[in-house]
Amino acid sequence: MLVSEKLAIAAHLHVLLRRKTGRVTDTEWLAGNREYALEIIRFSRAKAAEDGHPDLAEWADKLERAMLEGKPAGKQPLAQSAMQMVRERHAVPPQGQAAVAAPAPASEPSASGFGQSVFGESGFADSTMVGPDRVRKPRDPNAPRYVGGIR
């Protein structure tokens, strides 16, 4: 089932729950998080039985079918896959293969005419382009600074 279809079912159930029980839900989270959806389905069925709202039970069933239909088999949680990627990136390369070194930052303008993107003295990004036709004026150390003299 498409994510947009799950979202439509979740939105419809959200409106029913808000109107009939006063319960407010997060429709995007409802369409994307299986545990949250199962709890809202349980709540909807309980309220449908207590208060006599058959349409709540009907839409809870639709959401349950949508959530169970799209259940991926063996999908790894995001945190675990991120940790696996970090481990692979920092793993010691097998013997005979050289480790990939990060490129050293360029201190001179490159052939494209772009200069440093960060001031060496402060570490803040430069707001002007420095190239062969634009040269940055040296900063006067005695000139008042805006940060030091906030109005």
Which residue intervals of 52-142 are DSSP H helices?
54-69, 78-89
Q: Residues 16-26: what's their mean pLDDT?
A: 92
Residue that wins the pLDDT comparison between 4 and 101: 4
- Tell me the CA distances in angstroms from 131 to 2, 106, 128, one per residue in order: 49, 14, 10
Q: What is the pLDDT of residues 62-117, one digit of tens each?
A: 999 998 885 555 566 777 777 787 787 777 666 655 555 554 554 555 555 665 55
Alpha-carbon gap, residue 17 to 51, rounded angstroms: 12
Q: Residues 5-34: what's their mean pLDDT?
A: 92
Q: Provide the whole-model pTM.
A: 0.47
Residue that wins the pLDDT comparison between 151 and 59: 59
Alpha-carbon gap, residue 79 to 69, rounded angstroms: 24
Nearest to 48 by CA among 16, 15, 9, 11: 16
* Partners of 125 in beta bridges: 118
Residue that wins the pLDDT comparison between 133 and 36: 36
- What does pLDDT average to over the chain? 75
